[in-house]
Structure 1
Amino acid sequence: MTSTAAGESAQWTRMPTTKTFVPFLLVNIHDTIAVLTGGMPLPWLGGLGELAFVALYLATVSAALDEDRRDTRTPRLLLAALAVVTYALAVGYWDHWQMCFPLLSLATGVVLRRDPRLIALTLALLGITYGIMASLRGGHDTTGTIVAAGWGTGLAGMLVANLLNLVESNAALRATREQLAHAAVERERLRFSRDLHDLLGHTLSVMVVKAQAVRRLGPRDLDAALSQAADIEAVGRQALTEIREAVTGYRESSLATELDNARSLLEASGITAEISHSGPPLPPQSGALLGWVVREGVTNVVRHSGAAHCAIEVRGEQDRVHLEITDDGVGPSAAPEADRPRPKTGGNGLKGLAERLATAGGSLTSGPSGRHGFRLVAELPVDEEGSVAQATSRQGRSAHRLR
């Protein structure tokens, strides 16, 4: 049943083609037979007029349905020529070719469907003139005849115009829905890849540092080495939990937790840590966002800096919070564990954080500090409800969930 409904929905998004309007030409079949059998005066002239009408009718509809030509002058010029031929046949033969008016009305609806005022005026004039001609042709000038003939003629064009507008609107809505679905998937992929980068980059760095500590301490201090090994196990378990949370889109980082983790990681790496946190309590969403900054910044210090000292300062104000991470590193030459050059202005992780902060109205800047070292600064506005950072935390939740 779902596939049937989807098929019907797709039909209402497919624009009719010129072939759709060809069967309507059969309304003139009686006059066509009269041309072939000589049942009208000057049948050769009537035949030429019919050929001209059919050619103009098909050309008008085709041009009006063509995306490249529908907004040019061509469809309206062809429609004007079709109207001339229609009135010429109807007036010249009088008792024949009267059904050309409904066809002219259909073509008018196709051409002028995007101009409600003009199509209403045109179809009204067409209906009135055809109604008058029908009344005079019947030999009695009655209002009923004019209204009946005129209303039927004008209604044909109006129905076609509304139907085409409905199909075009449905097609536009369908295309917009598909674009939104693709955008949601892309946002979810970006969130997932960014979270995995932040999570795995930090976790693997911690495990490498702890493993190196085990190797150094093993020969001389077995208890300390076992303690570091236990930390590796705890970090691995925590990483599994965080990855599950990242997959479901509910991963949140705590600033206080990340500051504690940063101190532990820096000290295990032989880097002196100086951490200060001042100011009023932060809303959970703002703290979570800054927690990501601390995690990424400290991971970069451990992996790339070769620093002996790292300072982390969190300074909160009533409506804004300032986070700064600085180190005295000299680059990868002093850090044997570094596997790639130290970024000068920020790698992929910092770019992702900059996007998150920008979404929340904040900013992230990074670059060299003095002759050596590196400086990372995050600024984030904070209101009483912490609403500025909610967009970041909900970024993955509103998209398609990965299971």
Structure 2
Amino acid sequence: MQHTKRQNADPPEKDGTAEKDGTDSAPCRPGPAERKTDGPGKYAFLPWLLMGLGAFSNVIQGRTAHPWLAGLGLLAFNSVYITVVWTSFNPRLRDSRRPLYALAVLTAITFAIALGFGGDWFLFFPLLSLASGTVRTLRGKKLAGWLIALSGTAGYLTGWHDDGPGAFGVGYGTFLSGMVTSTVLSLFDTIQELNTTRQELARSAVEKERLRFSRDLHDLLGHTLSVVVVKAEAVRRLAPRDLDAALGQVADIEAVGRQALTEIREAVTGYREGSLATELDRARSVLEAAGIDPVVRQAGPPLPPQAGALLGWVVREGVTNTVRHSGATHCEISVHADEDRVRLTITDDGRGPAVAGAGAAAAPGRLHDGAGGSGTGGRPGPVGGTGLKGLTERLAAAGGTLRSGPDGRRGFRVTAELPVGTGDMADAREAGG
């Protein structure tokens, strides 16, 4: 059991297959590299305000008419610009209309100071475009239309003023500033979404692997311990009168234990695949040791390995439940296959689900809730116990079905049907864990 403990403690590092399939739990917690993909922050857009140094210099040197009014306009532009950027990067406000309202105010201020003072003040149009690119609710076609209109207007107004810095430069710079900003921020947003999706996929893969592992351990340990108990009871009965037969049962217990260790190691590595023929042989031996008369019938062509593996799990679980809970004296296992489907039926003549279910409360340590322990109250359909419920999910993933319920007035029946076509069974190995 040491292998099992190590696998539970640290499955990703010990299992190379899990790492390949993305089951490493490390990506579930974003590391330093992932946190760096958030993109440029709001402070990255503050240095661009230095483009207004020319206008600021004109105010300081008194080369602008109404310097006090120009200073107030410069202060208002910088303040609203920062407001637009801050609200656009605020997780609680960026998807609201507040950045748009602030951008509308910034647009009015930009047109006012550019038309009022001319010259270097037209360089505030690229800054207005830069702020527009940070507004997430304005991306896509809306932003493209806005930038085209803004850059065209900025170029026209700059050319209309003889002292402008260049109509083409202002118009082109206005369009390019907003478009590049929006593209870069959209790219980083997409990277962040991909990282989040990758983490969710990693979590899902880890949960799926844990489910497979717990399901395999349930089936393996439940069956193995049931066999050991039955064999031990047989030893106790045979030892006083037939020592050789008792020693044979002890040898079987040793063989079952060794086989269980091998199967647990295979389950840990995820490569275990059962065999229907092997499980039928084991079922016959276990039933005979429990004093139950076994009848095994097979008809039809050989089954694909995937279908045989899934049905092997059904045989293992059904026979274990019959031995432990039914009190039956006769158990029949029938396998009928054709070119399209295979049908497996396990029928016993035990007490049935109602009686066994009544005694379930007296066996709190049970590993299986099989025949009669499902709490179904004698109703047909999938049993609610852990073992057959897990098998129902496995067969459903492979396109099959599993039904269980009382067999007439007495006994219990488990019926599994599975497609055996090549295409239908393509995912059966994965479904079976």
| Shift in Å, 1:348 | 1.0
Calculate percent identity across the aligned residue pairs.
54
Tell me by how many angstroms 1:25 deviates.
1.7
Contact 1:306 1:334 in 2 (8 A): no
- 1:391 pairs with 2:415: no
Aligned mates of 1:248, 1:224 — CA distance in 2: 37
State the distance in 2 between where 1:315 and 1:38 align. 101
Q: Which residue of 2 aligns with 1:189?
A: 210
Q: Secondary structure at the match of 2:425?
A: helix
For 1:139 and 1:39, locate their aligned partners in 2 and report how far apart those are by CA, in whole Å.
13
Query: 1:377 and 2:392 equivalent?
Result: no
User: After superposition, what is the alpha-carbon deviation per residue over 1:25-50, rounded to whole angstroms, capped at 9, x for unaligned?
Assistant: 22223433544564422223223322
Contact 1:289 1:389 in 2 (8 A): no
Whether contact under 8 Å (1:198, 1:296) holds in the other structure is: yes
Alpha-carbon distance in structure 2 between the residues aligned to 1:388 and 1:380: 9
Assess if the C-alpha contact under 8 Å between 2:42 and 2:85 holds in 1: yes
Tell me if structure 1 keeps the 8 A contact 2:119–2:164.
no
Change beyond 3 A, Cα 1:240–1:334: same
Report the Cα offset of residue 334 of structure 1: 8.5
Instruction: Write the mapping of 1:266-345 to structure 2, written as runs, cut at 5 A.
Output: 266-330=287-351, 331-332=355-356, 339-340=365-366, 342-344=373-375, 345=383
- Listed as ranges, the gaps of 5+ residues in structure 2 are 1-30, 376-382
Structure 1 residues 110-189: aligned runs within 5 Å: 110-111=134-135, 115-138=139-162, 145-189=166-210
- Is 1:359 aligned to residue 383 of structure 2? no
Could you give the per-residue CA deviations for residues 184-231 of structure 1, whole angstroms, max 9, x where no partner exists?
Answer: 111111111111111111011111111111111011101101111111
Residue in 2 aligned with 1:401?
none
Contact 2:123 2:170 (C-alpha < 8 Å) held by counterparts: no
Change (3 A) 1:396 1:151: farther
Give the drift of 1:90: 0.3
The aligned counterpart of 1:91 is 115
Deviation at 1:381, TM superposition (A): 1.6
Deviation of 1:62 (Å): 2.6
Deviation at 1:70, TM superposition (A): 3.2
Q: Distance in 2 between matches of 1:20 and 1:129?
A: 27
Deviates more, 1:89-98 or 1:337-346: 337-346
TM-score (norm 1): 0.87
In structure 2, relative to structure 1, the CA distance for the partners of 1:67 and 1:334 (3 Å cut) is: closer
- Gap change, CA 1:325 and 1:40, over 3 Å in 2: same
Cα distance change on mapping 1:136 and 1:75 into 2, 3 Å: same
Where structure 1 has 5 or more consecutive residues not aligned to the other structure, the ranges are 1-5, 398-403
The partner residue of 2:106 within 48, 69, 82 is: 82
**Residue 108, structure 1, aligned to residue 144, structure 2:** no
Secondary structure in 1 aligned to 2:119? coil
| 1:208-255 Cα shifts (integer Å, max 9, x gaps) | 111111111011101101111111111111111111111111111111
Q: Contact 2:215 / 2:390 at 8 angstroms: preserved in 1?
A: yes
TM-score (norm 2): 0.82
Q: Distance in 2 between matches of 1:97 and 1:210?
A: 95
Q: Match of 2:417, SS?
A: strand
Asked whether the equivalents of residues 70 and 111 of structure 1 are also in contact (C-alpha less than 8 Å), the reply is yes
User: Does the 8 Å contact 2:34/2:195 carry over to 1?
Assistant: no
Change (3 A) 1:266 1:391: same
Q: Secondary structure of 2:424's match?
A: helix
1:354 CA displacement: 1.1
Is the Cα contact below 8 Å between 2:95 and 2:137 reproduced in 1? no
The match for 1:3 is: none
**Cα distance in 2 between the residues matched to 1:171 and 1:376:** 49
Cα pair 2:94 2:136 within 8 Å, conserved: no
1:161 Cα deviation from its structure 2 partner: 0.8
Name the aligned partner's letter for residue 389 of structure 2: K
Partner in structure 1 of residue 9 of structure 2: none
Q: Does 1:204 align with 2:221?
A: no
Which letter does structure 1 place at the counterpart of 2:271? Answer: Y
User: What one-letter code is carried by the residue in structure 1 that aligns with 2:116?
Assistant: G
Query: Which stretch shows the higher mean deviation, 34-43 or 259-268?
Result: 34-43
Pick aligned residue for 2:242 from 221, 232, 241 = 221
Shift of 1:73: 3.0
Q: Distance in 2 between matches of 1:395 and 1:97?
A: 68
Q: Distance in 2 between matches of 1:112 and 1:205?
A: 62
Task: Kindly provide the amino acid, as one letter, of the partner of residue 407 in structure 2.
Answer: S
Are 1:261 and 2:296 matched, yes or no?
A: no
Distance 1:396 1:178, change over 3 A: farther
**Alpha-carbon distance between aligned partners in 2 of 1:130 and 1:55, rounded to the nearest angstrom:** 21
